[in-house]
A and B are shown apart, each in its own frame.
Chain A
């Protein structure tokens, strides 16, 4: 029904940009605060979780080829249960987009544009995201395709340029004890769980048969990127200073020898990542809504959603409360995003819907 066609690789490549925005999120420091030197352990586990999660999502999506979760969830669970579940899922993406907007603009205001009101930074982003949503899925994924090498390259460049890499900063492992690992795992997994957008865009994939392989590979890559950023921060700053700073990775980039005082240049690249994440989250939300209500055009949903998201983003009036809200949100989103596909899949299996040729019989 739609001429949008993207490859699976393009669809999953988004995850690298999405995870690289961690450096803009004040919650990144929580990894250091909670788990200290041992943060790599839950992060590695989160990658495993990510792969499993992708497998879960795809085994659900495979049952209903050429259909979006918005279409089949109410058939599987009945409209009374299925409809609200999808709305919940859409809401998580919407809120993710809102938080991404806030986190990003907070970062820019604090780090490079000290006197600019946060709303001005947001307005620029609103324009960009609106344009992205109007360019639709193809536009966003192609943009991401161009930006991803830059993003990865920038992190590698920072690593090469870091002057103070001390391997001793990784020891002793678990200096904050075991109890910090779970929140870190939860937080990182929740970031990885953004990949549930695949439930909405699965119908647009050209080669869905490769999805499992490509998806898990990209999830691993994205997780490894997060791990890489984390390791770079710990190796450079140690977990103590890192946990004290609002944006630990910003300080890492401030202290590289390649470009002296050149963190603003890296911010250019992080802007790209933040833009991709925001527009993709909001696009997914708009897509979900337009799939739920067939008569509503996606673009106009986007026009409504974006200002709404930026309004929501500005509700917490100081940075610490914004961070607290984000941490809280991140914690519960994981359960929502984990539970909904699981429930749908479970019922689909029980009711023998979807899959090979039973689709027709169940209808």
Chain B
């Protein structure tokens, strides 16, 4: 009895062996795409650019020590144009001669032009395919996305690693924040979840402060640089947000606005904040903690919102002619800080409500969650620009670093 069963089992297993291994893909037959850029071609087609890692170069580099020298990154950028993504990917496959493998694609960059024309047609493939991950980071490039792939990073091996790093940097400087495909999807799918935003990826020269011309470096003089130098030190930066209305990009937020938006959304983490002290100089606060509360209430059948921002941080630098910052002085600086944040955030709020008219804060979502009937009775698109939003800021300097006095100021008074 059991012999017959065993032979049956062996037969079945053998039949499996004969038919082969279907889903098997040798690792060396895969082209590992590290970055994907999507642009809208002039004729309205989709241009898919992918950066493939040249694994042989990477492997050697890993083994031989100082491999992959020179200014070339071990990557190969390929572009394909087609009417839809599936066709573009197939085209790419025939071109590179390997199976394009997307699971290790950490970043998907969408060109500004494509974003302004609507991203939902391309998203279908990303969501449906098992190769693309819901956790891959989505961003919008300033200008063409393909052009960003040409930047050669100096400190990372692969441009993709640089962009992954940028996500972290943006998180720590609060000039932008990362968004995964899933984060993007929620506002797109849920009608009541507000409007999506995506971080903005720009090229920059090293000497320029990230988000130059923004409020962060207001009043600071950007030193003149020669053009050659600029070209040499070209790198990428993740600064600001692309604001969407539905699936179409409608505008951008610069670094200051992005920082304010992050406060409003409660996603702000770190970053330096330059507070001007009128007539005396400036103080820089390194934010270490921020949160917000969003309270939604119903007054006369209309929703209202109150956003309270709690923020505190360290004093990291100042040029005030003051030796000892006592509690009174800190109190005063707190007031200035609070006013500074208040101004920034109000300006941004104004921009969001009146200019962009896009509920990127997610107030509508909160209203819907708490007062669904009220939300449904309103036309949120129309109501949001006129919605009264109360703002309250609590900001503090907590510590002053390793100095309680300014010993140098004591000896060499400023000015």
**Is A171 within 8 A of B9, CB to CB?**
no
Given known A-B contacts A114-B23, A240-B189, A254-B133, A172 and B5 have beta carbons under 8 A apart: no
- CB-defined A-B contacts under 8 Å, sample of 9: A111-B130, A127-B12, A127-B13, A171-B369, A172-B368, A172-B370, A238-B186, A240-B189, A241-B190
Contacts of A244 in B (CB 8 A): 189
Q: A261 vs B366: C-alpha distance in the bound complex, in angstroms? A: 31
Shortest Cβ distance from B132 into chain A, in angstroms? 10
Contacts of B130 in A (CB 8 A): 110-111, 114
Shortest Cβ distance from B9 into chain A, in angstroms? 6
Contacts of A123 in B (CB 8 A): 12, 15-16
Q: A156 vs B307: C-alpha distance in the bound complex, in angstroms? A: 34
Shortest Cβ distance from A37 into chain B, in angstroms? 9
Which residues 1-59 of B have a CB within 8 angstroms of A? 1, 5, 9, 12-13, 15-16, 19, 22-23
How many A-B residue contacts, CB cutoff 8 Å?
Answer: 70
Contacts of A110 in B (CB 8 A): 130
The 8 lowest CB-CB distance pairs between A and B, nearest first, are: A171-B369, A116-B22, A172-B372, A113-B23, A240-B190, A115-B22, A115-B23, A116-B23
**Is B9 within 8 A of A260, CB to CB?**
no
B103 interface residue per 8 A CB criterion: yes
How many residues of chain B get a CB closer than 8 Å to chain A's CBs? 29
Q: A113 vs B372: C-alpha distance in the bound complex, in angstroms? A: 42
Q: A172 vs B369: C-alpha distance in the bound complex, in angstroms? A: 5
**Is B190 within 8 A of A126, CB to CB?**
no
**Is A124 within 8 A of B16, CB to CB?**
yes
A-contacting residues of B (Cβ < 8 Å)?
A: 1, 5, 9, 12-13, 15-16, 19, 22-23, 103, 130, 133-135, 180, 182-183, 185-186, 189-190, 193, 365-366, 368-370, 372
- Choose one: A127, A164, A238; the contact of B9 (CB below 8 Å): A127
Contacts of B5 in A (CB 8 A): 130, 134, 303
Shortest Cβ distance from A216 into chain B, in angstroms? 35
Shortest Cβ distance from B368 into chain A, in angstroms? 7
* Beyond A240-B186, A254-B134, A299-B1, 19 additional pairs, beta carbon < 8 A: A115-B23, A117-B22, A120-B16, A120-B22, A123-B15, A130-B5, A164-B183, A171-B369, A172-B372, A175-B372, A237-B182, A238-B193, A241-B182, A241-B186, A241-B189, A251-B134, A255-B180, A261-B103, A261-B135
**Is B182 within 8 A of A168, CB to CB?**
no
Shortest Cβ distance from A26 into chain B, in angstroms? 15
Shortest Cβ distance from B286 into chain A, in angstroms? 26
Contacts of B135 in A (CB 8 A): 254-255, 260-261
Q: A260 vs B133: C-alpha distance in the bound complex, in angstroms? A: 10
Which residues 227-284 of A have a CB within 8 angstroms of B? 237-238, 240-241, 244, 251, 254-255, 260-261
Q: A126 vs B190: C-alpha distance in the bound complex, in angstroms? A: 42
**Is A255 within 8 A of B369, CB to CB?**
no
Q: A171 vs B372: C-alpha distance in the bound complex, in angstroms? A: 9
Contacts of B368 in A (CB 8 A): 172
Given known A-B contacts A114-B23, A116-B23, A117-B22, A164 and B372 have beta carbons under 8 A apart: no
Q: A172 vs B370: C-alpha distance in the bound complex, in angstroms? A: 6
Given known A-B contacts A120-B22, A168-B365, A172-B372, A261 and B12 have beta carbons under 8 A apart: no
Contacts of A168 in B (CB 8 A): 365-366, 369
Q: A171 vs B365: C-alpha distance in the bound complex, in angstroms? A: 10
